[in-house]
Structure 1
Amino acid sequence: MSATISNPNDLPEKPGVYLFKDVKDEILYVGKAKSLKKRVKSYFKEEIEDPKTRVLMRHFHHLDYLVTDTEKEALILESNLIKKYLPRYNIRLKDDKRYPYLQITSEDYPRLLITRSVREDGSHYYGPFTDVTSVRSLLKLLKPVFQLRDCKRMDGPCLNYQIDLCPAPCSGQVSPEEYHENVGKVKMFLEGRQKEVMSLLREEMDQAARNHDFEKAVVIRDQLFSLGEVMEKQKMEFNRSLDQDVIASSNDGEVVVVVVFRVRQGKIMGKEDFLMEGAQDYSIPEILAAFIKQFYSGPRQVPAEILLPVMIEDKDIIEKWLSDKVQAGSPGKGDEGNYINVSSTGNEDGQLENHGVEKDAALIHLRVPEEGLEHRLVQMVTKNASIILNHHKQARGALLDLKTYLKIPRIPRRIEAFDISNLAGEMAVASMVVFEDGKPSKNQYRKYKLETPGPDDYGMMREVLTRRYEKLKSKGETPPDLIVVDGGRGQLNVATEVLDSLDLKTGVIGLAKEFEQVFIPEVSIPLILPPNSPALHILQYVRDEAHRFAVKYHKNLRDKRLKSSLLDEIPGVGPKRKMNLLRHFGDLKSIQNASEDEIADVKSIDTNLARKIYYHLHQGKD
């Protein structure tokens, strides 16, 4: 039930959520209550002591409310509505960083993928991970070990089957039971249960050896070796197994940071940090309570314990809510450990969904450790929060200096920078890198293949800027606070022409590499920032990152063209023989270093063809 009223005496004495609105019907604040009437009436006292509440009530015009069956449902609904509407006077989790997750899909033969979009589609998600490079490395190691398919359409068998990277479920080469055994091992590994996986594999290897299936035993031995290497890379291990999230916060009155350490089976698996908006005037318990409700309201893994530096309000309700989430998402009776893939408890409109019978016993516990290892761990996370807060303060100061130097209208919290890379006009590419609050936001980087004939650096810069900002304008998105183009006056003029043609108003500069000159529109003399200026260091970092990203993309395209053409251009070498060569030698470089006799040892390649391959790969070499 929902309704709009202006008098709190008209409210029912039932649990629910209330929404304070202004005269324009915009939501100012969302709150929950065990009794709507009693809670809301507290805002209408003659003397309001809390300054935050006084400011809120000066803008108040009317309110909406929604009745729920329990206080726990009110808590869930409150969290969903705050995340959806981002009310001005609520503490808001600024969770705009789309970290990568590992996804095991819900298909009949699941795939293991990297994704930044977490959906309620029955898949299992593991993460988030703050370093996409480490995720890719992990995926690269796990795929050949456990041999999960990665094709979108099962229309093989394909090359991966022929080089022993996939068991080809598409053609019935593996039974569903065998395939899902491997899926189960991947889940156990990603849940932090690596020792159990290693133990299972050792048993299978020993059994294969006893059955004289030595080929299978060798494969499992290699799997054990690869997994051992992965486990060596764990960042830290404690003396006992822990299944916990450790959460702490730091607040300097202007910026609020919350840090989460994910600990699985005694190992720190990752760290995340978040900015909280509208939280500067709140206490640490209030900040942590708001964070927990918003952080776990999505499809995140919920551990058995959450460790905190101080206890929060609504502890019992939050524990029951999280426990119900785990029970609702559990595939059986805990057969997948403490780290359950959970589903959201509200739909897009913030309405509650029925998750069944209320559970009495809490599976998830919030604790404040007083001593020992756990206490030291909380202190460590708190120290991390303070360090990250200090970094934000330093970056904020540098960005404020940058605004002053460049005479731009806003503090450049979001910077987009562009660079061009080509080889005499061939294979021209462009990069766009994004910095937010002085730090790279790599998930927002973009790369472009350019169509402008070259060499024409100005034309190429015009193309990439037009493509980027035409798309941005068509979506109605806000332009960045500052655009940086690599180059001098010419590149800057191109950028201002593009922005003027699209009627976009924002800061834009050119940064020349040789003398670190900063070119500003309508200022004839380039600006030279002090060499030790933090503002200059941010600009250099942004420019160099754009250059690195563009050069890397250009090099990848060159290498891809080289590798694809060298073998494809040899008469008599079709897809099958090309695959045999790569499977035999491993990569193109090894084929180039091989002798005629070694090439002739490859399946389906005779002496004459080996000679052709050898001479084709060594044309022009001494």
Structure 2
Amino acid sequence: MSADKFDSSKFLKHVTTEPGVYRMFDAGATVIYVGKAKNLKNRLSSYFQKNVSSVKTQALVAQICNIEVTVTETETEALILENNLIKEYLPKYNILLRDDKSYPYILITDHKHPRLTMHRGKKRNKGHYFGPFPSAGAVWQSLRIMQKIFPVRQCEDGFYKVRSRPCLQHQLKRCSAPCVEGFVTDEQYQEQVELVKKFLTGKSQDVIDLLINKMEVASEKLHFEDAGFYRDQIFALRKVTEQQNVSGTIDEIDVLAFSSDKGLASMHVLYIRDQKVLGSKNFSPTVPANSEPSEIVTSFISQFYLNGVGGQNIPKTIIVPPETEELEELAAAIAQVRSAKVELVKPQRGEKFKYYQLAQKNADIDLATKLSDGRAISSKYKELCEVLKVPKIERMECFDISHTFGEYPIASCVVFGPEGPTKSAYRRYNVKGVKGGDDYGAMEFALNKRYKNVESAENVPDVLFIDGGKGQLNKAEAFFSDWPLEKSPIIAGIAKGEGRKAGLEILYLNGGEIEIDLPPTSLALHLIQHIRDESHRFAITGHRNKRNKAKTQSILQDMPGVGAKRRQALLKNFGGLQGVMAAKAEDFAKVPGISKQLAEDLHAFLHDKD
């Protein structure tokens, strides 16, 4: 089906005037745009007028082959449905808020003696979650602060369960040692947990008031040690509160600011809770060409709060940029998510406007940084093209091998495009069938894994960097000597210079016959160093993971005839791996589920390993 076959006049005759959501499809039945409307007929008619000024709308209409509508009871329902569909289909003509990071939370677990810890990912663990926080650093800072104030354990459950005496944290007065009897009662420990919950919900003053009351009660009862403990908590909490306070009276507010230029956009969100700056974060929405600022801002706010990116703790007041449209509809939709009234405000003066100016300054700085980085990358690519004498470079790949004295070898391949690293295209390969320490063989293995099934020239890099000298370069060139495709990469070896110092690298081409020694100030050299360092980082990370996994893998996992249940029975009966290693064949035979023959086989296996 082509776009020309879509009969808009016939379609519009039957469209309802009620509110709802519409989905536009291209020739491949792919959703290319999702929108909402108070009046579906009027909104959809506007796309097919003769004089449409928006270039983006013209491009969109040219690809429409079909339109489907869903009627809703209210505009608010339409807004919520629109966001759900955008999240599901990711249409290319919609403003897309892409933020795939797993935001960190603080978790208080649901145990007899709850643990205070950081959590990422799906909320599978039972307990109370607080957040999200703008970064892991903000979480760890908060945990360190609370450890000094509230003696609630932060240790791993495994460490907690096996304690027979208090650890160093108790001696430092940072844990009340609930793991050992006699140091804190369950009621006292739970009291501290409840104080932590109040503190994390921004009720610092309430916590201080409770502690003051407890200190006075303890003093009246002549429990001076308890009174001193509460006094120290109050002092520490007040000190922290003073450090975090900002000069304001607003208890709960989010402040959003917007900046855009040259097709890039930045949204900055400032979090204020209990008169404190809880944190801030920059976001970079994917912006289709020729998008209006009002559309970018409105779509960001909608997706940020309705799709859960903004977290569960939505404030009652949200400061929004002047470009924001549909304030009442947005507020009504967000209120449904919050289950309470929400006010969206465009500030003009006073304290809220000061917060907005701060957020706007951060958004402008973030955008300037992005634009600067883009220009720098463009200049580096341009200079590298001049060095390699090619008209343009669209795709570069770099290989590196990492191992420890030949053990646990890993090969990495990183990919760079015109805008920098393309991390979704990165690959690691477990090197197999190659003698330990044979870097040439490992390189040949990795190249074969990467390119043996390549059929399209689009997946062939313009430049292939090999982290190594002439030997690795020759291996790579030999691999491509009988390359079946018309397009083949320029292959360059990156050799470390004298003293292996950065800035002294030598670039080898044509089997090492051509040596290029770039000056330390060269932008092309900086780009080469970047892709080489990224390849090395990616390889060594994979190597360390493989090595650590091998170190932690029990020898019992290799024992023939021993599955998970028998392995668990052996460890339980002999008190651990050392007991298993010291056991005799007849001892194995006494374990339920282990026959006499299997016991002899296991004993022989262990001694063969020795």
Q: TM-score, normalised by structure 1?
A: 0.65
Identify if the C-alpha distance between structure 1 residues 61 and 376 changes in structure 2 by more than 3 Å, giving closer, same or farther: same
CA distance in 1, matches of 2:130, 2:464: 35
2:195 equivalent in structure 1: 185
Task: Evaluate the alpha carbon distance shift between residue 180 and residue 531 of structure 1 in structure 2; reply closer, same or farther with a 3 A threshold.
Answer: same
User: Residue 57 of structure 1 aligns with which residue?
Assistant: 61
CA contact under 8 A between 2:393 and 2:418: conserved in structure 1?
A: no
Matches within 5 A, 1:539-578: 539-540=528-529
Return the alpha-carbon distance in structure 2 between the equivalents of residues 44 and 142 of structure 1: 60
Letter in 1 for 2:261: D
Contact 2:263–2:287 under 8 Å retained in 1: no
Does 2:105 align with 1:101? yes
Q: Indicate yes or no: 2:300 matched with 1:291.
A: yes
CA distance in structure 1 between the partners assigned to 2:463 and 2:540 by the alignment: 22
Look up the equivalent residue of 1:309 and give its one-letter code: P
Q: For 2:342, which of 335, 347, 364 is the aligned residue?
A: 364
How far the C-alpha of 1:272 sits from its partner, in A, is 1.5
Q: Distance in 2 between matches of 1:486 and 1:218?
A: 62
Please name the residue that 2:275 is paired with. Answer: 266
Partner residue of 1:30?
A: 34
Pairwise mapping of residues 328-477 of structure 1 onto structure 2 (< 5 A)?
363-404=341-382, 405=384, 411=394, 420=402, 422=404
Pair 1:11-2:15 in alignment: yes
Aligned residues: CA RMSD: 5.3
Task: Give 1:324 deviation, angstroms.
Answer: 2.2
Within the candidate set 520, 527, 538, 1:531 is matched to 520
**How big is the shift at 1:390?**
2.0
Distance in 2 (alpha carbons) for counterparts of 1:448 and 1:204: 61
Cα distance in 2 for residues equivalent to 1:157 and 1:534: 56
Partners of 1:533 and 1:9 in 2: how far apart? 63
Q: Please name the residue that 2:505 is paired with.
A: 516
> Contact 1:239/1:266 (CA < 8 Å) preserved in 2?
yes
Amino acid across the alignment from 1:45: Q
Contact 2:377 2:420 in 1 (8 A): no
Give, in angstroms, the shift of residue 20 of structure 1: 0.7
Note closer, same or farther for the CA distance 1:21–1:553 as it changes in structure 2 (3 Å cut).
closer
Q: Contact 1:285–1:311 (CA<8 Å) still a contact in 2?
A: yes
1:74 positional shift? 0.8
Cα 1:212/1:376, change in 2 over 3 Å: same
Partner of 2:568: none
Q: 1:257 to 1:492 in 2, by over 3 A?
A: farther
Q: C-alpha separation between the residues in 2 aligned to 1:219 and 1:479?
A: 67
**Contact 1:118-1:125 at 8 Å conserved across structures:** no
Structure 1 residues 280 and 55: alpha-carbon distance in aligned structure 2, compared to 1, 3 A threshold: closer
Deviation of 1:364 (Å): 1.6
Equivalent AA in structure 2 for residue 248 of structure 1: A
1:21: Cα distance to partner?
0.6
- 1:149-160, aligned counterparts within 5 Å? 151=156, 156=161, 158=163
Task: Using the TM superposition, give the Cα deviation of residue 387 of structure 1 relative to its aligned residue in structure 2, in angstroms.
Answer: 2.0
How far has the Cα of 1:402 moved from its partner? 4.1
1:420–1:461: 8 Å Cα contact kept in structure 2? no
What does residue 238 of structure 1 align with? 247
SS in 1 for 2:321: coil
Alpha-carbon distance between aligned partners in 2 of 1:111 and 1:547, rounded to the nearest angstrom: 37
1:197 lines up with 2:202 in the alignment: no
Cα deviations across residues 105-155 of structure 1 (Å, max 9, x unaligned)?
A: 567765444333255988654444454344334335535734246546799
Aligned to 1:594: none
Structure 1 pair 225–447 and aligned structure 2 pair: CA distance change class (3 A) = farther
Q: Following TM superposition, by how much is the alpha carbon of 1:159 offset from its aligned partner in structure 2, in angstroms?
A: 6.5
Q: Which of 247, 254, 273 does residue 263 from structure 2 map onto? A: 254
Would the aligned equivalents of 1:256 and 1:280 in 2 still touch at CA under 8 Å?
no
- The residue that corresponds to 2:287 in the other structure is 278
Alpha carbons of 1:157 and 1:89: their partners in 2 closer, same or farther (altered >3 Å)? same
Kindly name which structure, 1 or 2, has the bigger radius of gyration based on alpha carbons. Answer: 2
Give the partner amino acid of 2:195. Answer: K
- Write the deviation string for residues 560-607 of structure 1: whole angstroms up to 9, x where unpaired: xxxxxxxxxxxxxxx9xxxxxxxxxxxxxxxxxxxxxxxxxxxxxxxx
Structure 2 residue runs of 5 or longer lacking an equivalent are 1-6, 498-503, 549-574, 576-610
Cα pair 2:115 2:152 within 8 Å, conserved: no
Q: CA deviation at 1:315?
A: 0.6
2:329 aligned to 293, 317, 321, which one?
317
Asked whether the 8 Å contact 2:24–2:32 carries over to 1, the reply is: yes
Asked whether 1:302 is paired with 2:323, we answer no
How far did 1:207 drift?
Answer: 3.9
Q: Give deviations 1:281-323, integer Å, cap 9, x for gaps.
A: 2332221110011111233131222112305222112112222
Hey, what does 1:147 align to over in structure 2?
152
**2:443, 2:262 → 1: CA distance?**
42
| Inter-partner Cα distance in structure 1 for 2:70 and 2:217 | 61
**CA 1:558 to 1:16, structure 2 compared with 1: closer, same or farther past 3 Å?**
closer
Distance 1:493 1:215, change over 3 A: farther
In structure 2, what residue type is equivalent to 1:22? D
2:119 corresponds to which of 115, 120, 131: 115
Aligned residues between the structures: 516
Aligned twin of 1:339: none
What displacement does 1:266 show? 2.6
Q: Which amino acid aligns with 1:379?
A: Q
Residues 377/149 of structure 1: CA separation in 2 closer, same or farther (3 Å cut)? closer
Task: State the AA in 2 paired with 1:264.
Answer: R
Output the CA distance in 2 between the equivalents of 1:453 and 1:257. 50
State the SS of the aligned residue for 2:300: helix
2:571 corresponds in structure 1 to none
- Listed as ranges, the gaps of 5+ residues in structure 1 are 328-361, 560-574, 576-622
